[in-house]
């Protein structure tokens, strides 16, 4: 999968820089070519000679080297690659990337590149958990930067916790996943043809629903809304007009998206129907299957009557309702199947039952950490078969899904 691929590796100044040497070796074993850029601080941990020997290419270090500028300027260097990888991505490098600073070769090419960037953070756990670093990470993810790690583990400083750089083979797997999608970055305000949803209306549902029992209690599920919100944000970056119908979540509304907040499944269905017509409907929300037939207007109290009996009735099926609309059915209807067993079997059954065009299935058993987590492993189920993707961040899943939606929509027109 990496045969013939060109990787531009930015090596930051951290003790984990020694892993970059093994990463280069692993990439070249798989047929990729590697050009390396070292920051000044990286020289304190690995030598340019070691990096050059393993990469089989010269090491780029100085922004103002006349020889380098004559042979390959920083603009060309930043674009003559299929993917840019930053490993280790130190707190300082991440801060520069998030804020658009360009005061050395590494930060300048990261700002000038027209390819996607994959970062492998490595730093002390307090630096990683610092609000400034977390803000920078959030900015970079919203900008489309992919991440692998960091892992929990022992550090050179003697502390234990998050901040340890992902192992070289983990980074290789993340590189393969990133290269499975288009890595070309369009200019701001422009879109590549393959990813363009310009002028399209994309309608997305996200998060859980809350079905009231009484004024203070409700039935809900563990959905965080992260995947649905990421899809809405990715669709907006692809040029679409996006309407996001969100159940109660603890994450911010995506930038550039019209977000409508609802509580119950009934509220969500009304909001979806009111937001039609749409070109694409993505039913990501984990809608409660049942609601209490008659919720109490007052808080239910414990007492002599004992435990109350709750009579449940089935909520309307939002996905099936939209998929079967006779007049204004969206051209592409996408459902999600969150399962804890027989994932593919249940997803294939759901595809036929709901009459949608695509089911994105995933395993949400507690041990997977998908519900509420930042990563997801999905399977795309259509009448043509099943396509399984590796574990990716939910941001990366969203980017790849939106690219697929654009392709599927284009094929129907």
Residue showing tokens 């949608």: 356
In the numeric block, which tokens belong to residue 413? 């027109």
Catalytic residue selected from 156, 157, 216, 255: 157
R_g of the chain, CA atoms, integer Å = 24
CA 95, 100, 106, 112 torsion-angle sign: positive
- The pair phi, psi for residue 204, each rounded to 5°, is -125, 135
Give yes or no: 157 in active site. Answer: yes
**What are the contacts of 359-362 at 24+ separation with CB within 8 A?**
359/334, 359/335, 360/334, 360/335, 360/336, 360/401, 361/336, 361/337, 362/336, 362/337, 362/338
The SS3 of residue 233 is helix
Rounded CA separation 247/287 (Å):
9
Q: Are 34 and 175 in contact (CB under 8 A)?
A: no
Neighbours of 295 (CB within 10 A): 17
Our measurement of the distance from residue 35's CA atom to the centroid of its chain's CA atoms, rounded to an integer in Å, reads 26
| Tally of CA atoms within 13 A in the half-sphere of 4 that contains its CB | 1
Q: What is the DSSP code string of 95-157?
A: HHHHHT--SSHHHHHHHH--B-EEEEE---HHHHHSHHHHHHHHHHHHTT-EE--PEEEE-TT
Q: Which of 238, 227, 237, 230 is nearest to 196 (CA)?
A: 238
Q: What is the DSSP code string of 331-377?
A: SEEEEEEEESSSHHHHHHHHHHHHT-SEEEEEE--GGG--TTSSEE-
Rounded CA separation 359/351 (Å):
6
Q: Are 263 and 185 in contact (CB under 8 A)?
A: no
Q: Which residues are catalytic?
A: 157
């Amino acid at each position: 999968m990496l045969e013939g691929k060109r990787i531009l590796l930015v090596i930051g100044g951290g003790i984990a820089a020694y892993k970059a040497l093994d990463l280069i070796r692993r990439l070249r074993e798989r047929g990729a070519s590697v050009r390396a850029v070292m920051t000044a601080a990286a020289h304190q941990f690995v030598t340019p000679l070691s990096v050059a020997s393993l990469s089989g290419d010269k090491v780029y270090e100085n922004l103002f080297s006349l020889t380098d500028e004559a042979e390959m300027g920083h603009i060309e260097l930043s674009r003559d690659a299929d993917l840019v990888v930053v490993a280790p991505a130190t707190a300082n490098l991440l801060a520069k990337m998030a804020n658009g600073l360009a005061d050395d070769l590494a930060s300048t090419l990261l700002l000038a590149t027209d390819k996607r960037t994959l970062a492998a953070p490595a730093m002390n756990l307090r630096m990683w958990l610092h609000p400034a670093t977390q803000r920078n990470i959030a900015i970079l993810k919203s900008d489309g930067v992919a991440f692998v790690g960091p892992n929990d583990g022992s550090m050179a400083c003697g502390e234990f916790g998050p901040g340890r750089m992902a192992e070289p083979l983990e980074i290789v797997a993340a590189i393969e996943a990133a290269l499975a999608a288009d890595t070309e970055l369009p200019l701001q305000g422009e879109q590549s043809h393959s990813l363009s949803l310009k002028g399209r209306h994309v309608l997305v549902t996200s998060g859980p629903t809350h079905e009231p029992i009484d004024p203070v209690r409700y039935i809900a599920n563990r959905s965080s809304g992260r995947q649905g919100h990421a899809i809405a944000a990715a669709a907006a970056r692809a040029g679409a007009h996006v309407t996001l119908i969100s159940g109660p979540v603890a994450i911010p509304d995506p930038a550039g998206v019209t977000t409508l907040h609802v509580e119950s499944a009934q509220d969500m269905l009304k909001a979806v129907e009111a937001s039609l017509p749409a070109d694409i409907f993505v039913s990501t929300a984990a809608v409660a299957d049942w609601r209490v037939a008659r919720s109490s207007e007052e808080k239910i109290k414990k007492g002599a009557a004992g435990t109350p009996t709750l009579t449940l009735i089935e909520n309307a099926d939002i996905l099936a309702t939209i998929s079967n609309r006779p007049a204004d059915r969206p051209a592409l209807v996408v459902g999600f199947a969150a399962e804890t067993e027989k994932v593919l079997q249940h997803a294939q059954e759901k595809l036929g039952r709901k009459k949608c065009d695509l089911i994105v299935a995933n395993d949400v058993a507690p041990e997977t950490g998908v519900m509420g987590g930042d990563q997801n492993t999905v399977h795309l189920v259509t009448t043509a078969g099943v396509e399984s993707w590796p574990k990716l961040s939910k941001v990366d899943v969203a980017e790849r899904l939106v690219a697929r939606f654009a392709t599927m929509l284009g094929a129907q027109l």
